[in-house]
Amino acid sequence: MPPKVTRLLLYALLLVVTTFVLRFEGRDWWCACGQIRFWDGDIWSSHCSQHLLDPYTFTHVLHGVALFLIGLWLVPKMTFLWRLWWATFLECLWEILENSPWVIERYRAVTVSLGYEGDTVVNAMGDILACVAGFALANWLGLRRSVILFVVIELILLVTIRDNLTLNVLMLVCPIEAIKEWQIAL
Ligand SMILES: [Zn+2]
């Protein structure tokens, strides 16, 4: 088989397996409202994390940026496309974990995502796509500008939705009540 076809099949495999596991975990294909929207900007509505893109999509762009930088540091000799495949693999793994009953329960219990019921398959695919976009963007920008981009996106999210990748991980692992109260007051 030509290498290009093999590679495409390997990517397809990731998406198919991820979709299968998400369905197995009980996630819906798309939003319960019945529509598939390109964007939903309200993080407090029941449509959040249910349509293709929403403010949290940007945290997945940051996954891509971070995975690019970590990959460059850990395995600099690996080809770009293989590093991208491994990054996509890790992002799929994250989506599967993020949508496991245990993590969903934890989000609801300790973070600001009180009504979180997990992503839909459509939203998870949007997240994975965002990660790939972030990875490609970081490759194009280079190290320094990628770091700047990372910080800028985190700050914009902090100001607009009072949540970002750093807070998301922090609040999931080691929740701080004062931060949660500040986030809810938005
Ligand atoms: Zn909806």
Directed axis angle between helix 101-110 and helix 165-173, to 10°? 100
Q: Report whether pLDDT(44) > 90.
A: no
Instruction: Identify which of 89, 103, 83 has the alpha carbon closest to the alpha carbon of residue 17.
Output: 89
Query: pLDDT digit string (tens) for 108-138?
Result: 888 888 888 899 999 999 999 999 999 999 9
User: How many angstroms separate the alpha carbon of residue 32 from the centre of ligand 1?
Assistant: 6
User: How many angstroms separate the alpha carbon of residue 20 from the centre of ligand 1?
Assistant: 22
Q: Report whether pLDDT(51) > 80.
A: yes
Residue-level pLDDT at 60: 96
C-alpha distances (whole Å) from 21 to each of 15, 26, 94, 120, 124 are 10, 9, 12, 12, 12
User: How many angstroms separate the alpha carbon of residue 27 from the centre of ligand 1?
Assistant: 14
User: How many angstroms separate the alpha carbon of residue 52 from the centre of ligand 1?
Assistant: 10
Residue-level pLDDT at 172: 87
User: How many angstroms separate the alpha carbon of residue 132 from the centre of ligand 1?
Assistant: 24
Q: What token pair was written down for 138?
A: 């970081």
Residue extents of the structural domains in the chain: 3-26+55-152
User: How many angstroms separate the alpha carbon of residue 176 from the centre of ligand 1?
Assistant: 30
Q: Report whether pLDDT(1) > 80.
A: no
Q: Report whether pLDDT(42) > 80.
A: yes
Using 50, 70 and 90 to split pLDDT, how confident is the model at 29? very high
Q: Which residue has the tokens 């004062």?
A: 178
Q: What number is the average pLDDT over the span 14-24?
A: 96
User: How many angstroms separate the alpha carbon of residue 63 from the centre of ligand 1?
Assistant: 25
Q: Report whether pLDDT(25) > 90.
A: yes
Q: Report whether pLDDT(2) > 80.
A: no
Instruction: Identify which of 7, 170, 169 has the alpha carbon closest to the alpha carbon of residue 97.
Output: 169
Instruction: Identify which of 115, 114, 118 has the alpha carbon closest to the alpha carbon of residue 100.
Output: 118
User: How many angstroms separate the alpha carbon of residue 11 from the centre of ligand 1?
Assistant: 28
Q: Report whether pLDDT(52) > 80.
A: yes
Query: pLDDT digit string (tens) for 64-98?
Result: 999 999 999 999 999 999 999 999 999 999 999 99
User: How many angstroms separate the alpha carbon of residue 83 from the centre of ligand 1?
Assistant: 34
Q: What token pair was written down for 181?
A: 């109260």
Q: What token pair was written down for 133?
A: 């976009």
User: How many angstroms separate the alpha carbon of residue 112 from the centre of ligand 1?
Assistant: 20
Using 50, 70 and 90 to split pLDDT, how confident is the model at 186? confident
